[in-house]
Amino acid sequence: MDIPEIDGVDYRLVEYEPGRDIETAAERRGVAVERILKTMVVRVGQGRYVLVMVPGDQLIEWKALRNLLGERRLSLADADEAYAATGYHRGTITPLGAAGDWPLVIEATIEGTGEVSIGSGTEGVAIHLDVDDLIAITGAAVAPVSKAR
């Protein structure tokens, strides 16, 4: 496994059989869907990206994200572009150790809620850690950028 190192915080690695959807992934990770933080690669401009983490039961609220970033046009990177930008495949993307050192935005409603499950960069392995530790070690911006799916 090529798991990024995390210094100074408590975390655990959870191995699971990957599934086709977020509900299956949550069940196999032993968490509720809303405890999974999906990491999405958003194109801000040519060769410029931001990573956005929202709970598994949420979608990006594009207007809120555009306003936060001061950008008029944003789009989700496709699988190949996301891999090129982060070094991780979709479904495994993590802000920890991602290539590019892209800015990170985490949905505000998850702050202060305890343990979350995030990608590890390796298929079938999740990192479980306190969301406030994740925010602290990544320097993430915390803002309301999601809506119910």
Question: Where are the chain's structural domains?
Answer: 11-148
Tens digit of each residue's pLDDT, the chain (149 residues)? 566 668 889 999 999 999 889 999 999 999 999 999 999 999 999 999 999 999 999 999 999 999 999 999 999 999 999 999 999 999 999 999 899 889 999 999 999 999 999 999 999 999 999 999 999 999 999 999 999 98
d(CA 111, CA 106) in angstroms, rounded, equals 8
pTM score: 0.94
Could you tell me the two tokens for 66?
């555009």
Single-letter amino acid code for the residue at 32: A
Half-sphere exposure for 103 (CA within 13 Å, toward CB) = 13
- Radius of gyration from C-alpha coordinates of the chain: 14
Domain 11-148 has CATH 3.90.960.10: yes
Burial of 45 (0-12, 13-18, 19+ CB in 10 A): exposed
Could you tell me the two tokens for 118?
């995030």
